Chains A and B, each alone.
Chain A
Amino acid sequence: MVTTRVRETRSTPRGPVTAPPARAGRWQRLRADRILLLLLLPGLLYFLVFHYGALFGNVLAFQDYVPFLGVRDSEWVGLAHFERMFTDPLFWSAVTNTVLIAVLQLAFFFPAPLALALLLHSIAGDTLRKFVQSVVYLPHFLSWVIVIALFQHMLGGAGVINGWLADLGVGGISIIGNPDAYKPLVVAQVIWKECGWATIIFLAALSQVDEQMYEAAALDGASWWRRLWHVTLPAIRPVIILLLVLRLGEFLSIGFEQFFLQRQSVGAEAGEVLDTFVYYTGFASGDFGYAAAVGLFKGVIGIALIYTANKVAHRFGEQGVYKS
């Protein structure tokens, strides 16, 4: 019975919303779905505690928060933190770096998994494809500490590549610790680490494309490129838009660990992003209130972005993340 309903939903993804069942039936449905509801519980608890519960932490943004005094006894300061934020050059430098890196990520990291997924999808041999797939997933499971150490050992001033160049008598390359190379470097790192993993959703979408469409297109003499353009991409467009909108919502959340570990090598001007700024002001300097204000600012921008992106998606006739 349960499986039937799931199948129904999948076969009519854009179907009309089914009419609410009669009141008497509601209890019965709850009973019938109790296993599913139980399975839902841990996830629900997670969101309640770590996402909704944590939202109350935003009051810190309006306090001179002292950890061992707590929210109750810390002094209220109104909008002082926000006033300070808008005139703080360090904050704006962090915003600039974050936006620049986010734009680079969007331009280079967002399309990369799609391209890789298309490539993987076109590999004929099933065994070979599975093997390549497993290999490109692997870096995702390495921690940032290891990935960064790897990049540093390869590209660093005393690293492998500079060692070779020195042996050849050619001048060295300066990438690690070079503020100008920093932003491309961090984007390259994230592509290397996460590209394979990010193909999963695209591959799932690609597997849903009707094979008959390809056959029909091929019969009509469509080349690989034409099939890609007219069959594949339109078929997976909703997924691409969905992921893009989701990505925009997290536009300013470009990651913490990666930047925290490398900030020192290029200094704050080039290396400070919003998340490290929050860490240094909040946790390292104990300025929790100010850090919370910056975090709140980031959250508000995130909501604005996702709302706008979703509106735009609707305008283009796409489903987006949610229906308004």
Chain B
Amino acid sequence: MKRRSLLQLTGAGALGIAAGPGLAACSGGGSGGGSVGNAGKDLAPWPAYLPFAGPQPDAPGDDSIGVQPLYLNYPAQLTQSVAETPGDGSEVTAMVVTYEAPPKPLAENSYWQEISKALGVKLNVIVVPDPEYAQKMTTLMASGGDLPDIVMFTNLNLPRRAEFIQRSCADLTDLIAGDAIKQFPNLANIPAYAWQGMGRIGGRFFGVPLERPMPANTMFVNRTRLDEVGAPVDWNHDQYMSAMRDLSSGRRWGTGWYKTLFTSLSGITFHASSAGAPNNWAVRDGGFVHTGTTPQFEQALGVMREVTKAAVHYPDSLTASSTDMQNNFYNQTVASLPNGFGFLALSNLLKAGNRFAVGLARPYSPQATTWRSIGNFGFATFKKADPSRITMLLRICDYLSAPFGSKEYELVNYGIEGKHFTKENGVVTTTALYASENSATLPVRYIGTAPSVLHLPGFPDVAKAAHEWERAVMPRSVANPQNGLQSPIASAKGGQLDQILGDGIAAISFGRKPVSSWKDTISQWRAAGGDQLAEELAKEYQANA
């Protein structure tokens, strides 16, 4: 017994570092690193863009600057966008992230049955809950074993993701590059920015992007309360601060952050873009300059500190989860909330109900550079197989990417009429069954998705205000030049580099360190790989230009 205790202890010491090397002994090959870059490679042409001639919008969109078409009513006439059933009756397994409870089993899930039937396959899903996503994907990548037919990647910076995809996933280039995409009309309807945000690996295509609109991380506001305190829609810094002060009293606060915002630049995005800081990077004289090194960014750090000094922020902003803070927004504990643009969705508006109007804050300065998104939520990749099977899997993505105004879109997004939703006078109303059977609980929306439009049934005023916000703000928006570029250091250390910046922003925002300490954070970031990252990106940028 005594000796065993000792051995147990030494064993326990090593346990912390065991990463299961025995499992990872996969077949040999090159070193994997370096070859994911696009510099010096033959670059496959971007897939052609053939926009869908959809229903007439109430206000038009503009792809080039990120204004979405506005639809106040649901179209009366729907078009058929997919000519024939995509599947061949075989079994298809997809691994996708989920933010919801697991789906009801197939036998009890009429939505799942209908989707399987429409796709013409026996569709299985492996749902990965968001909090476990990084861990599950790292394990999948490390095991190097048998992949599911479809593997969805979010934009989370998983270590050496590009190398893994290049090595283990199907090369789609011959099927989708250039005009080849035309055989999948709904994929050809995905705007260029979504493809460019995903980028090429070694000059080739390995995925199909899940489009997201260009507005990125945005400040959502409780417009009703802002109106109560007389905050103007177009405001300046002082008006912003005074509104925040007026909104904070008792157990209510002007704004609230949550802890995951401080794993990267997300917590400061609204203030940095208001101050006119570049979107992550600026390209100057062919070199990459990080936004954190600009005076505008330091100015934004000053505003962050101003907010916490005035105590107009939810005090536990660094311990709260995003769900907690969203609930604080719904129950009006906080009057503003930084979140992804996707937060502007019907399901969330229903939670606010008619207690208050959800709005988007405009940046509070005329030199604002609103940061554009990467243009996608992630992308779907496929297990290596013969071209006919890959074509079939792409057809499934094509079906699920059917645009607004098509019959396929209706099935995927709303379910079966009469069961999951009803239509009346141009308004789609979802039923109680929809709450448990939809494209989020059975996350097919992460296998393929339609280019987004502004359509918020039951909330026409919110949709109109959002469209006005896009028209006012997006013309001055800037893209992140890093989007779609490959860099070995970003692939290996991107998460760590982001964390250094997030930690530094939190330390200054919450008063643990002065704004002047930011230069130390930047030197730490540079030494940890930031400088190398800038160099690699500049080289990649040249190659892609």
For the side of the interface on B, what is the size category? 35 or more
Find out whether the CB atom of A57 lies under 8 angstroms from the CB atom of B262.
no
Complex Cα–Cα for A268 and B10 (A): 28
Set of chain A residues within 8 Å of B418, measured between Cβ atoms: none
A111 within 8 A of B: no
Find out whether the CB atom of B315 lies under 8 angstroms from the CB atom of A156.
yes
Of B8, B18, B31, B160, which contacts A57 at CB under 8 A?
B18
Find out whether the CB atom of B14 lies under 8 angstroms from the CB atom of A51.
yes
Set of chain A residues within 8 Å of B333, measured between Cβ atoms: 158
Of A275, A288, A302, A321, which contacts B19 at CB under 8 A?
A288
Find out whether the CB atom of A177 lies under 8 angstroms from the CB atom of B318.
yes
Set of chain B residues within 8 Å of A179, measured between Cβ atoms: 512
Find out whether the CB atom of B134 lies under 8 angstroms from the CB atom of A284.
yes
Q: Which of B1-40 contact A (CB under 8 A)?
A: 2-22, 24-26, 28-29, 31-33
B247 within 8 A of A: no
CB B472 to nearest CB in A, in angstroms, measures 34
**Count of chain A residues with a beta carbon within 8 Å of a chain B beta carbon:** 72
State the majority secondary structure of interface residues on B: helix
A184 within 8 A of B: no
Nearest-CB residue, chain A, relative to B334: A158
A249 within 8 A of B: yes
Q: Which of A52-75 contact B (CB under 8 A)?
A: 52-61, 65-73, 75
Of B3, B4, B33, B496, which contacts A281 at CB under 8 A?
B496
Find out whether the CB atom of A323 lies under 8 angstroms from the CB atom of B318.
no
Nearest-CB residue, chain B, relative to A310: B6
Interface contacts (Cβ under 8 Å), in number, total: 207
A78 within 8 A of B: no
The segment from B195-203, B443-451, B503-511, B533-541 found at the interface with A is B503-511
Set of chain A residues within 8 Å of B138, measured between Cβ atoms: 67, 283, 286
Find out whether the CB atom of A286 lies under 8 angstroms from the CB atom of B160.
yes
Set of chain A residues within 8 Å of B28, measured between Cβ atoms: 72-73
B499 within 8 A of A: yes
B516 within 8 A of A: no
| With A68-B24, A70-B144, A158-B315 as contacts: A286 and B492 at CB distance below 8 Å | yes
Which 4 A-B residue pairings sit nearest by Cβ, starting from the closest? A286-B159, A157-B315, A295-B17, A51-B11
Taking beta carbons and an 8 Å cutoff, which residues of B are in contact with A? Answer: 2-22, 24-26, 28-29, 31-33, 134-135, 138, 141-142, 144, 158-160, 163-164, 167-168, 250-251, 259, 262-263, 314-316, 318-319, 333, 492-493, 495-496, 499, 503, 506-507, 510, 512
Taking beta carbons and an 8 Å cutoff, which residues of A are in contact with B? Answer: 47, 50-61, 65-73, 75, 152, 156-159, 162-163, 166, 172, 176-177, 179, 246, 249-250, 253, 256, 262, 264-269, 275, 278, 280-288, 291-292, 294-296, 298-300, 302-303, 306, 321-323
